[in-house]
Chains A and B, each alone.
Chain A
Amino acid sequence: MKHANSIEQSDCYSSSITRQTFLRLVLNGTATLSFAAAGLRFGIAEAMAQAPATVEANVIEVAHGVFVHQGRHGVYAPDNGGDICNTGFIIGDDAVAVVDTGGTALLGAALKARISTLTDRPVRYVINTHMHPDHVLGNAAFKADGCQFVGHEKLAPALLARAERYLAYNKAAVGEKAFAGTEIVLPTVGVADHHEIDLGGRTLALLARATAHTDNDLTVRDEKTGTLFTGDLIFSGHVPTLDGSIRGWLKLLAELEPAAAERIVPGHGPAAMNWPAASAPVKRYLEVVAAGVRAAIASGRTMRDAIETVGESERANWQLFDEFHRRNVSAAFAELEWE
C-alpha cells in the first residue's frame, strides 16, 4: 500500500550499512547503537540531546526480516528506563513497520536508530498493539517522520482518556531525563476489524480484537514468516495484567489457539515463543482467577475477601505478582459479579 502523503525521509534513513553488515550485526547478537548519537542525528527534541547516552536497543531476528527487542520484566523505574515490554519491527522490500515503540521517546528513538543500522528502507508504519504506555509512549520518536500510526479504532479514545495520567505517573516513576521528549501520539489510522499493510514482498495482517487484555487489542501477523505479534494477549514470566475483560480474554485465547503460527512475539516475555504452547500459562492463570472469583461470588463472599484469597496458587508461577495480581482479582470480581 503506497501512500500519497508519505513524507520524504531523506535524512532519516541515510544509513549506508549493507544487508550483509546488518545480518552480521544481528548474528553477533549484541550490536547496539548508543542513543546520544541517534538523538542528535534525528533531532527529535532538544531536551533529548541532554539525555543519558545509555539507551540502546538490542534486537534479535526471530524470523527473516522480523526483529524483536526484549524488554525487562518490571514496572517503570529509573533502573529500567521504562524498557519493560517487547517491541519489534518488520522489514519489507519497500518499507519498515514498527510494532510497539517502548515506554519513552528515548526508547522509541533507540529502536529507530537500531532500525537504521539494519536497513535503509523507511519506517512508514508504527503499529501499536494496545494503549498501555510501555507499548506506545515511544511513538513520539517517529512523529516527525510522516509515518502512519496504526492501532485499534478504540486505541485513540482509550489513550485520550488516560493521556494525562500516563504521562504524569510514568514521568514521576522513571525520572524526568529518561522521559524527555515523551508525549502521546495518537493513531492516524484506526482499525475497526481488519487491515492489511504491504511492506513490499510481505504483507502484514492486522486484526482488531474484542475486549480482552484491554478494549483495544490488535494483533499483527507477518504472513511471510507466520510470525504473530500478540501484544499483551500473551505474557510470559510477567504476570498477566487485566485491564479489559477476563471473559473476553479467555474467549479470545480459545479462538486464537487453533490458528497456525510459526511463532508468536508476546508483549512481555521472550522475543519469540511457540504457538499455541505460549497460550497455556496465560490461560491457566486467567482460568484460576475466574474460577476463584466465581466461587467467591457464588458463596456470597465480598470483593475484599476475594482479593485476599483468590489465585494464590499462581504466585510461584509469575514475576510481579504482588504488583498486579490483587488488582486483577478486583477487576475480575467487578466484571464477573454481573454474570
Chain B
Amino acid sequence: MRTKNTRVRTRLLGVLTIVCAAAMAMGSLAIVTPSPSVAQAPLDDDVWPGIRKELYAARPIAEDDGTLTLEAPVRADDAAVVPITMRVPASMAAQAKALTLVIEKNPMPVAATFTYGPAAGNGERMISTRVRIDMYSNVRAILETTDGKLHMVTKFVKAAGGCSAPALKDQEQALAELGKMKLRLHSQDQSPIVQEAQVMIRHPNYSGMQMNQLTGLYIPAKYVEAMEVKRGDEVVFTMSGGISLSENPNIRFTYAPGGDNEIVVTAKDTDGSVFTARHTPKGS
C-alpha cells in the first residue's frame, strides 16, 4: 500500500519543553493509573475539625448510628471517577432533610449537598454519584434530619490526582456535546414505594486544577453548581455541587412514584448555562 501525500497538514508547534516541576501533590497517573501506591497525603494532617467547624459550627454529630450508609471503594480504580453511594434506610426517610458528601482532602471538600423535597419518598433513599479524589482521603456522608440533628458515616479511600486529571479522554467530542443530558428510569416494576432514576449531563466540570491542553495554563473552574430534580411539580431533591463531582456529572437516585411519574431535571453551571431534561413515562 503506497500512500500518497494527498492531505499533508502539519502544524509546527515549536520545540517546547516542560521541565519537571517541583514536587506537587503527587499525581497519580503513571500510564493509565496502576494503583497509586506512591500518592499518599500525610495522614497526621487532620483537616476535618476545620471543615466541620465551617459547615456545622459546634453542633454535635452522631457517628455510625445506623441512620445512613456510605459505599466507596477502598482503593479507587480511577481517581477522577470514583463511584460513591449513600443510602438512608426507609425507617429514617421521613426525617431525612439533607445529605452532604465531603471529600476531606480535596481543595473544595464539599462535593455536593442534596436537600430532599416531598417527592423523595418514604422508601429507602439512595443517591449514587461519581467524584474526584485528589489524595488519600476520608470521604464523609452527613445526614441532617428534620429535628436538626446530624449523623455521619466515613470511609477512607485510597486515590490520588483526581482533581487535576486531564478532562475528558476525547476532549473534542465531549465539548461538542456539552450540555447533552440523559435521563434513565431504572425501576423494573411499579413499586408503590420507591422508583429509581439516573441523570447524566455532558459537562467537563472543570476543577480549576486541570491544564488547558493548548496553552499549558490552568483551565478556570466551571462546573455544575445547582440541580433540581422534580417528579411532576414536586421536588425530589435539589443539589448544590462543586468541583469534586466528576466530569459528566452522573446522579442516580430514588424517588416516590406519583402522578404520571414524569421526571424533570434542571441544572445550572457556574457560567449560568442552564440544562434541562425530562422523562415522561411511555403511554402518558
Contact = CB atoms under 8 A, between A and B. Distances in A.
B27 A192 contact: no
Nearest to A191: B10
Contacts, number: 199
B177 to A, nearest CB: 8
A300 interface: yes
Given A168-B24, A189-B11, A302 B34 contact: no
Interface in B65-102: 71, 73, 77-78, 81, 83, 85
Given A153-B11, A172-B26, A331-B169, 18 more contacts: A132-B32, A133-B31, A160-B211, A164-B18, A171-B20, A173-B38, A183-B18, A183-B19, A186-B13, A190-B10, A192-B9, A196-B5, A205-B3, A215-B172, A245-B170, A302-B128, A320-B34, A327-B77
Nearest to B36: A169
Contacts of B170: 211, 215, 244-245, 248
B216 interface: yes
B200 interface: yes
A194 B211 contact: no
Q: Which of A140, A172, A193 has the most CB of B within 10 A?
A: A172
B16 interface: yes
The contact size tier of chain B is 35 or more
Contacts of B73: 304
A215 B15 contact: no
Contacts of B202: 338
Contacts of B215: 160
Contacts of B216: 160, 163
Given A133-B30, A173-B30, A307 B77 contact: yes
9 contacts: A158-B166, A161-B167, A164-B18, A164-B211, A168-B23, A169-B28, A211-B173, A260-B1, A303-B83
A67 interface: no
Given A158-B166, A168-B23, A330-B81, A184 B17 contact: yes
Contacts of B13: 156, 186-190
A194 B7 contact: yes
A326 B210 CA distance: 24
A162 B171 CA distance: 13
Contact of B17 (A185, A241, A331): A185
Contacts of A245: 169-170
B18 A184 contact: yes
B42 interface: no
Given A165-B161, A245-B169, A194 B3 contact: yes
Contact of B213 (A160, A192, A244): A160
A312 interface: no
Given A169-B26, A215-B169, A302-B252, A164 B21 contact: yes
B3 A189 contact: no
Interface of B: 1-3, 5-21, 23-24, 26-36, 38-39, 71, 73, 77-78, 81, 83, 85, 128, 130, 161, 164-167, 169-173, 182, 184, 186, 188, 196, 200, 202, 210-216, 248, 250, 252
B206 to A, nearest CB: 12
Nearest to B19: A183
A304 B71 contact: yes
A324 B27 contact: no
B14 A302 contact: no
B81 to A, nearest CB: 6
Contacts of B6: 194
A190 B15 CA distance: 12
B35 A323 contact: yes
Contact of A189 (B12, B34, B200): B12
